[in-house]
Amino acid sequence: MFRTLDEADVRGKRVLVRVDLNVPVENGKVADTTRIERAAPTIREIADKGGKVILRFHPGEERNDPGFVAQLAALGDIFVNDAFSAAHRAHASVEGIAHRLPTYAGRSMQDELEALTNVLRTPVRPLAAIVGGAKVSTKLDLLGSLLAKVDTLVIGGGMANTFLAACGHSVGKSLCEHDLLPTAHEIMAQAKSKGRELVLPVDAVVAKTFAANAPSRVVAVDGVGDDEMILDIGPRSIERVCSVLARIKTLVWNGPFGAFELEPFDIGTVEVAEAAAELTAAGKIVTVAGGGDTVAALNAAGATGRFTYVSTAGGAFLEWLEGKPLPGVEVLRAG
């Protein structure tokens, strides 16, 4: 268990609060306010309970500089960490200061920890994971960790092309890590030996150029032309993933199915997100999603608010799913 604000007496205390305000800015305006909105309840609660909230940033932060940690600690009586998205970094205001002051999880951090603990430690089964995104190489640890936990693993995005190539299919000009074909074979063999269901695309939307509204066609995965690239999953693949969703109880999602930032190659991600959101709203499944691209894709699909929980964290979310201890979380453990 983790220490939270429920156990902290903040009245009259100087409370150092670590938040993550690393938000995208476009043309001088904040493009996505999610992280700011998630931090607000903790700040308000401490202030309402008579605490003095202190937020700040400093160059000594990332080095976890002992001198800076001491300076930070001198500013406050209590430390509250409300930045799960930075919890995988052993920085001064994440990990260092926790050794100097009584430390508690803020409400946003608490929400993340409870949602992620429930979904991986004690999930209602069957449990499925969707793992998409561009490259297998960045998610090897994740795939290995998930195969030990899930009943069904759905692979999408550019990384699915590497698996399709490993199965002997030509993927044309598609993004594909040909040097990782043996690794893809190993992962498929591992899934088979553990009795896990591994779901790969059966059809794809292909185009000759990577551009919005480029002329495209739907082909079976064994029908990709040498001059074509896979940019999304096709309708039969969407149906197959939705049939998986219909028979599971818990879903973890990291990474889009296709080049969702370009129309019409967002359809696979949007339709699966919509199906997952509807099942969640009907109380049939628990859905937890996270990672930068994933949040952007779910926002584009208008599904974020209907998932059980959407994590604002990127690297920290991935490392948590990989089963790695996070410095900023370990210092919050009670007892």
158 C-beta neighbours (distance < 10 Å), count:
24
For 80-133, write each residue's pLDDT tens digit. 888 777 777 766 555 677 777 888 888 988 988 888 888 878 889 999 999 998
Name the percent of the chain in helix, strand, coil, to the closest 5.
Answer: 40, 20, 40
Least confident of 143-147, 159-163, 267-271: 143-147
In angstroms, the Cα distances linking 327 to 62, 90, 121 are: 13, 6, 19
Taking phi over 0 as left and psi of -120 to 50 as alpha, with beta for the rest, 142 belongs to alpha
CA pair distance 296, 32, nearest whole angstrom: 9
Q: Decide: helix, strand or coil at residue 140.
A: helix
Q: What is the pLDDT of residue 322?
A: 83
Full-model pTM = 0.82
Question: How many helices and strands in the chain, by DSSP H and E?
Answer: 11, 15
Please enumerate, as own/partner, the contacts of 206-213 that have beta carbons within 8 Å and a separation of 24 or more.
206/172, 206/174, 206/230, 206/231, 207/231, 207/265, 208/173, 210/259, 210/262, 211/262, 212/262, 212/263, 213/262, 213/263, 213/264
**CATH number belonging to the domain at 5-107, selected among 3.40.50.720, 3.50.50.60, 3.40.50.300, 3.40.50.1260:** 3.40.50.1260
| CA 187 to chain CA centroid, nearest Å | 21
User: How much is the pLDDT for 152?
Assistant: 97
In this predicted model, which residue has the larger pLDDT, 24 or 176?
Answer: 176
Of 80-89, 236-245, 247-256, 287-296, minimum mean pLDDT range: 80-89
What residue spans of 180-249 are helical by DSSP H?
181-194, 235-246
Average pLDDT, integer, range 139-160: 93
Q: Evaluate whether the domain defined by 114-321 bears CATH number 3.40.50.1260.
A: yes
d(CA 274, CA 125): 21
323: left (phi over 0), alpha (psi -120 to 50) or beta: left
Do the domains 114-321 and 5-107 match in fold?
yes
β-pairing verdict for 216-220 and 203-207: antiparallel
Q: What distance separates the 2 farthest-apart alpha carbons in the chain?
A: 69
Query: DSSP E strands: which ranges in the chain?
Result: 14-18, 25-26, 29-30, 52-54, 78-81, 103-105, 127-131, 152-155, 197-199, 203-207, 216-220, 229-233, 250-254, 286-290, 309-311
Tokens in use for 55? 């937020």
Which H/E stretch holds residue 139? none
Residue recorded with tokens 């088979």:
192
Any idea where the domains of the chain sit in the sequence?
5-107, 114-321
Residue with structure tokens 């997100």?
273
